[in-house]
Every structure is written in structure tokens, then in C-alpha cells.
Amino acid sequence: MRRREFISLIGSVAATWPLAAHAQQPGKPPTIGFMGSTTPQVAAQWVASFVQRLRELGWLEGRDVAIEYRWAEGRSERYTEIAAEFVRLKVDVILTHNTPTVLAAKQATSVIPIVFATAGDPIGSGLVATLARPGGNVTGISSQGSDAVGKRLELLRELVPGLRRFAVLANLASSFPALELGEVQAASRTLGLEVSPFDIRRAQDIGPAFEALKGHAEALYVVADPLVSTNRIRINTLALGLRLPTMHNVREFVEAGGLMSYGSNWPSQFRRAADFVDKILRGAKPADLPVEQPTKFDLVINLTTAKALGLTVPPALLARADEVIE
């Protein structure tokens, strides 16, 4: 199936999500609380992967299982509101992604099982005790985001000849971006690069951050979190306006005009998260389900953006790319 057809299909599916959730009757099928940190548009592919795998496992939405979808749209105050609502609804399991939403769900309940499809550093963020023995009511799939930091910087330096200094754009009020910034700073010292962090905590901070980093960077490292993901098109547009090559940890940013990404494949992680939910709905306890780690990291390059920036992608780098967007 071509990508355009796939997106159209997902769009039609997305339109039915609220209807399917609303049709749930008390005491009928088990209920999954889907806690989206961004928007239905941003998460369309991820949700489709999750729902498709559930179907393969015998859980047809609206018949065998009900799904209550809620969207935070990158607003941190919504995380606790949604988590509290799911507790009131007494959902059977909460499926979420990105560290801040997982933390909000964990703070709201120690009883309802929580599965995360992505989390940058589950141990460092305090989501689980260990990967092998999560403990408590939380488990899922780690993105191992910080583990790939050094590789991202090496790739960025390979694509931007003579790179000496770069900026990091991150929501440092969130736990994982703060952890990743520390990894970036450590890797930068090893590679002899100067790094300047720019903190954004609301959508209104994005414009001023770009004004402040003018002339202070030759490239931009963007740390994904719900706020940043929701505003990814604006961020890429502003970066392009300043002729700043961008490095991301999620392919969807490159699809939205970013230059390059290196990280785990999120649709596949949401698909795997469905297996966790299946086991829990059949009686397994989160504490007994070890946190899984990604086995493959994808390199994605946007040639259209590279051309707009006047960059020539080395043939050797192109050959290593898992996907090239033109």
C-alpha cells in the first residue's frame, strides 16, 4: 500500500475513534485507556499499528475491547487530568507513550496496569525499578533514546562538514529531555563540540528561543517530547528559516521537514505494546513483564530539506540510511 493511501486509511479510522469509545457499555468488554500525549494527527500511524496488532491478537475494537482515546495536545496540565479521568472510569489498562504521560499515569494509580509504548529512559526517569523486574504496575518498551545520542552527533557532524557548535532545543521541565541533554553535553565534550541548550516549556517559548539562538549555532539537535512533537512543523520551519540543519530522534520529525533522525521505530513499538496489553487483559501482571528494548534503530534523511539548506549528503551516508525522503 502506498504511503498516501495508508495515511488516508488511518485518517478514516481516526474519525471513528471517539464513536467506538462512546459505544462502550458498562460491564461489557474490557476497556483500554489510550492516553495520547500529542494529537490524533501526530499519532495516527502509532495508533493504527497498535489497533491492528490488537485485532491480530483477537481484540476487535468495539466488540472484544473498548478504547477510550484522550489527547493532551502537548499540554502538560492535561496529563494529570486524563490520568485522573481514566482512574474514575476504572479502565482495565492504560496505554500511553512519552515519559511525562507515563509518570502522570503512575502518580494517578498504583493499581491499574500501565503500558508505555515509548519511554526514553525508564529507569533514570523512575518509571520502573529495573528492565528485567519492573515492579509495581508499569511496564512497556523503552526507546533507549539517550543511548543513541553519541551516534546522532556523529551523523550530524558527518552531514555538516566543519561542525563546531550546535544548539539543543528541549523542554527541560520534562524529565527525559533533561536526561538527554546531559548525555548530549557529555558526548559533545568527547567529540570536541560546543553545545548551547535552549529551554522551551510552552508553545509560546518556541519563537523567542529561535530568536535567542540566532548566530549561536551551526546546527540544531531537537529532543522529542509531547510539546515538541505537537509543534514539530513550526520548529522545522523556523530552523529552515535560520538555515539550521536539524537532528531528531523520531522519524516523524523528518517527515515534517526536519533534516535527519536516528532512533527506534515508534510504529513497531506501539505494535509491540499491544502484545503487553493482550497479556495483561488475559491476566498477566505488569511487574512480571520485563521492559523490552528496541532491536533496530532507523536512520532517516530528508533530501528535500538537505537541498534547501545547500547540503550535499555524502553517498556513504545515503547508503546507510534506512529511509530517504524526497
Cα separations (Å) of 52 from 13, 32, 56, 103, 275? 11, 15, 6, 26, 11
Q: Do 166 and 50 reside in the same domain of the chain?
A: no
Q: Do 306 and 219 reside in the same domain of the chain?
A: yes
Residue 245, CB-side half-sphere exposure with 13 Å CA sphere: 28
Q: Is the pLDDT assigned to residue 107 strictly greater than 50?
A: yes
Confidence of residue 2 (pLDDT cuts 50, 70, 90): very low
Q: Is the pLDDT assigned to residue 19 strictly greater than 60?
A: no
Q: Do 154 and 239 reside in the same domain of the chain?
A: yes
Report pLDDT for 189. Answer: 94
Q: Do 137 and 270 reside in the same domain of the chain?
A: yes
Q: Do 116 and 79 reside in the same domain of the chain?
A: yes
Could you please report the per-residue DSSP string of 77-103?
HHHHHHHHHHHHHT-SEEEE-SHHHHH
Q: Which residue has the higher pLDDT, 123 or 185?
A: 185
Confidence of residue 9 (pLDDT cuts 50, 70, 90): very low
Q: Do 16 and 108 reside in the same domain of the chain?
A: yes
Cα separations (Å) of 183 from 151, 186, 195, 294? 11, 5, 11, 19
Hey, which of 39-43, 126-130, 196-200 has the most confident mean pLDDT?
A: 196-200
What letter represents residue 273's amino acid?
A
Q: Do 182 and 235 reside in the same domain of the chain?
A: yes
CA 97 to CA 10: how far, in whole Å?
19
Q: Which residue has the higher pLDDT, 180 or 217?
A: 217
Report pLDDT for 126. Answer: 86
The domain that contains 76 carries what CATH number? 3.40.50.2300
User: The domain containing residue 255 runs over which residues?
Assistant: 146-264+298-325
Q: Do 123 and 229 reside in the same domain of the chain?
A: no
Report pLDDT for 223. Answer: 93
Digit-coded pLDDT (tens) for 251-285: 889 999 999 999 988 899 999 999 999 999 999 99
- How many domains does one find in the chain? 2
Cα separations (Å) of 64 from 67, 88, 92, 247? 10, 21, 13, 41
Q: Do 314 and 277 reside in the same domain of the chain?
A: no
Q: Do 138 and 193 reside in the same domain of the chain?
A: no
CA 64 to CA 48: how far, in whole Å?
17
Q: Do 124 and 255 reside in the same domain of the chain?
A: no
Hey, which of 36-40, 49-53, 180-184 has the most confident mean pLDDT?
A: 49-53
Q: Do 132 and 153 reside in the same domain of the chain?
A: no
